[in-house]
A and B are shown apart, each in its own frame.
Chain A
Amino acid sequence: EPEVTQTPSHQVTQMGQEVILRCVPISNHLYFYWYRQILGQKVEFLVSFYNNEISEKSEIFDDQFSVERPDGSNFTLKIRSTKLEDSAMYFCASRVDGEKLFFGSGTQLSVL
Chain B
Amino acid sequence: QQPVQSPQAVILREGEDAVINCSSSKALYSVHWYRQKHGEAPVFLMILLKGGEQKGHEKISASFNEKKQQSSLYLTASQLSYSGTYFCGTAPMTGTASKLTFGTGTRLQVTL
Contacts and interface: CB of A to CB of B under 8 A. Distances in A.
Interface of A: 30-31, 33, 35, 41-45, 48, 50, 56, 91, 95, 97-106
Contact of A44 (B42, B47, B102): B102
A10 to B, nearest CB: 11
A84 B105 CA distance: 24
A95 B2 CA distance: 21
Interface stretch (B17-25, B60-68, B75-83, B93-101): B93-101
| Interface residues on chain B, size class | 20 to 34
Contacts of A104: 41
Contacts, number: 56
Given A42-B2, A42-B87, A101 B101 contact: no
B101 A98 contact: no
Contacts of B42: 43, 91, 101, 103
B40 A105 contact: yes
Contacts of B34: 101
B89 A101 contact: yes
A42 B104 contact: yes
A90 to B, nearest CB: 11
Contacts of B32: 100-101
Contacts of A45: 99-102
Those 6 A-B pairs whose CB atoms lie nearest each other, nearest first? A98-B96, A103-B41, A100-B44, A43-B102, A31-B97, A45-B99
Contacts of B87: 42-43
Contacts of A102: 44
